[in-house]
């Protein structure tokens, strides 16, 4: 595949001096939070559990925001319209192509891929869950 002749690169990052501010970089995440409230895993969805990893620019289309969950380490990729996306790696790692994003069928699929059902086990005090321990364990 030929290299791009222009300097356009799809990956962008939020300004370092605004990382702790909730601005346009977290707007899509808040949209997802409102939309998933009634989903089975919605009770475990908390915007504060996500890190903003960057954005994927697309010419003529809304940017895809890339969020990584702090506990499950899985990605939520969503644009400002609430469309969910999955990253597809290039076929060959030595390829100059940066990969692509394919549209998922819905936010329910994207949230299910986060494995939020693991949250009570990962952070039991937060969810008021007592973990069973074997006798003699600390």
Identify which of 71, 60, 67 has the alpha carbon closest to the alpha carbon of residue 85.
67
What are phi and psi for residue 113, nearest 5 degrees? -70, -15
Residue 63: pLDDT band with limits 50, 70, 90: very high
Q: What percent of the chain has pLDDT over 90?
A: 51
Give residue 137's pLDDT. Answer: 43
Question: Has residue 131 got a pLDDT over 60?
Answer: no
Q: Which two tokens stand for residue 18?
A: 């605004």
- Mean pLDDT, the chain, whole residue set: 84
Annotated domain spans of the chain: 21-90+97-123
DSSP per position, the chain? -PPPSS---SEE---GGGTTS-SHHHHHHHHHHHHTTTSTTGGG--GGGEEEEEEEEETTEEEEEEEEETTT--EEEEETT--EEEEE--SSTT-S---EEEE-S-HHHHHHTTTGGGHHHHSHHHHT-PPP--TT--
- The residues near 56 (Cβ < 8 Å, ≥ 6 apart) are 10, 11, 12, 63, 64, 66, 77, 85, 101
Residue 58: pLDDT band with limits 50, 70, 90: very high
Claim: this prediction has a pTM higher than 0.85? no
Q: What percent of the chain has pLDDT over 70?
A: 84
The answer to whether residues 92 and 137 touch, using CB atoms and an 8 Å cutoff, is no
Identify which of 55, 53, 34, 56 has the alpha carbon closest to the alpha carbon of residue 45.
34
- pLDDT tens for 40-53 read 878 889 999 999 99
Decide which of 23 and 132 is more confident: 23
């Amino acid at each position: 595949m030929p290299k791009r002749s222009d300097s356009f690169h799809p990956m962008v990052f939020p300004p370092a001096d605004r990382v702790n501010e909730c601005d346009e970089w977290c707007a899509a995440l808040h949209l997802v939070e409102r939309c998933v409230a009634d989903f089975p895993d919605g009770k475990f969805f908390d915007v504060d559990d996500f890190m903003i990893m960057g954005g994927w620019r697309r010419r003529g289309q809304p940017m895809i925001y890339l969020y990584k969950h702090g506990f499950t380490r899985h990605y939520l990729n969503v644009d400002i319209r609430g469309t969910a996306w999955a990253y597809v790696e290039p076929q060959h790692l030595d390829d100059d192509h940066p990969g692509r994003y394919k549209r998922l069928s819905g936010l329910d699929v994207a949230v299910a891929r986060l494995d939020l059902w693991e949250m009570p086990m990962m952070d039991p005090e937060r969810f008021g869950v007592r973990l069973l321990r074997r006798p003699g364990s600390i």
